[in-house]
Amino acid sequence: MATLQDVADIVIAGKAKKTPGVVQEALDAGLAPKDILNTMIDAMSVVGERFSRNEIFVPEMLVAAKAMKKGVDVLKPLLSDGGVGSMGKMIMGTVAGDLHDIGKNLVIMMIESAGFDVIDLGVDVPIERFLSAYDENPDTKIIGCSALLTTTMPALEQTVAAINQQPWRGKVKVMVGGAPITQEFADRIGADAYTEDAASAAQKAKELVS
Ligand code: B1M
């Protein structure tokens, strides 16, 4: 029987092969999927703090991220309600220069669960790719952009600025998020919405299209 502490420990240790088993054991012990997910998110914060203190380095961050992804895979069917596409299309990507995708993937998972059909552009997405994805999918209701580094906040600003210049801007909502982003920053760069986490992103997406 695994505890939440076991889940945190296995993610922090970056044991990607063992993580699914520990997550499954935690579920079998009756722990709630949302609590297990939040534990993994908190574990990534611990990893980040250790990185900031130079106690660990990029490879350790990378293996922790892989472990978390494997754990999320186990939870995915339990966290999403399988809603498909009824709310319309959303384009999502992490902005140019930024390789972080765990947060974006969680947002996608929750937004799909809310009934959106998500086009995932991946990480390090150039401005032109956000624009061409809209051209390929002109029925898109929302474009979502993640930025997880303070150094990629300018790329987020430039991406939103480019979207704001498009003739189709009035037909689409722009949503932004990521650890360094604030409501104030989102307002300043001309985004329509900002949310702090994946659950509120799904809620906000529903509000934006209603
Ligand atoms: Co990086 N990294 N990293 N990293 N990394 C951080 C972000 C950092 C805070 C660590 C630290 O120093 N404490 C720091 C940034 C500091 C800063 O910005 N000033 C940092 C750094 C410095 C770097 C490198 C520069 C390190 C280096 O090379 N020297 C490098 C940059 C690479 C690049 O992108 N160009 C780098 C690399 C990496 C790895 C590749 C090793 C790996 C990423 C692997 C991957 O994602 N596949 C990694 C990791 C794992 C982290 C930490 C440890 C964890 C990130 C994470 O997944 N968090 C992170 C430390 C930390 O976060 N405390 C760190 C969990 C995730 C669920 O949270 O991403 O915030 P988050 O997403 C949330 C919300 O932000 C929100 O909802 C999500 C779910 O609740 N959200 C949205 C996100 N997008 C949204 C969009 C929305 C709405 C909400 O609407 C559209």
Separation between Cα atoms, residue 115 and residue 14, nearest integer Å: 32
Beta bridge mates, 140: 89
Ligand 1 centre and the CA of 207: distance in Å? 27
Q: In the structure, what pLDDT confidence band is assigned to residue 182 with cuts at 50, 70 and 90?
A: very high
- Residue 82, pLDDT score: 59
Q: In the structure, what pLDDT confidence band is assigned to residue 199 with cuts at 50, 70 and 90?
A: confident
- Residue 83, pLDDT score: 59
Separation between Cα atoms, residue 201 and residue 55, nearest integer Å: 33
Substitution site in 40, 60, 61, 106 for ligand 1 pocket (most atoms within 8 Å of beta carbon) = 61
- pLDDT tens string 6-54: 999 999 999 999 999 999 999 999 999 999 999 999 999 999 999 999 9
Quickly tell me which residue has 């969680």 as its tokens.
106
Q: Is the pLDDT of residue 146 over 70?
A: yes
Alpha carbon 130 to its chain centroid, in Å, reads 16
Ligand 1 centre and the CA of 29: distance in Å? 30
- H or E element at residue 67: helix 58-79
Q: Is residue 11 within 6 Å of ligand 1 at its C-beta? A: no
* DSSP 8-state assignment for residue 18: T
Q: Is residue 176 within 6 Å of ligand 1 at its C-beta? A: yes
Q: Return the sign of the alpha-carbon dihedral for residues 26, 32, 33, 34.
A: negative
Q: Is the pLDDT of residue 183 over 90?
A: yes
Ligand 1 centre and the CA of 136: distance in Å? 29
Taking CA atoms, 180 is separated from 116, 134, 177, 184, 196, in Å, by: 25, 26, 8, 11, 10
Ligand 1 centre and the CA of 170: distance in Å? 31
- pLDDT tens string 64-116: 999 999 999 999 888 876 556 678 999 999 999 999 999 999 999 889 888 89
Burial group, residue 206, by CB count within 10 angstroms (0-12, 13-18, 19+): middle
**3-state SS class at 207:** helix
Beta bridge mates, 38: none
- Residue 114, pLDDT score: 86
Q: Is residue 51 within 6 Å of ligand 1 at its C-beta? A: yes
Report the percentage of the chain scoring pLDDT > 70.
98
Of 119-123, 185-189, 196-200, which gets the smallest average pLDDT?
196-200
- Residue 50, pLDDT score: 96
Quickly tell me which residue has 């997880």 as its tokens.
148
Q: Is the pLDDT of residue 129 over 90?
A: yes
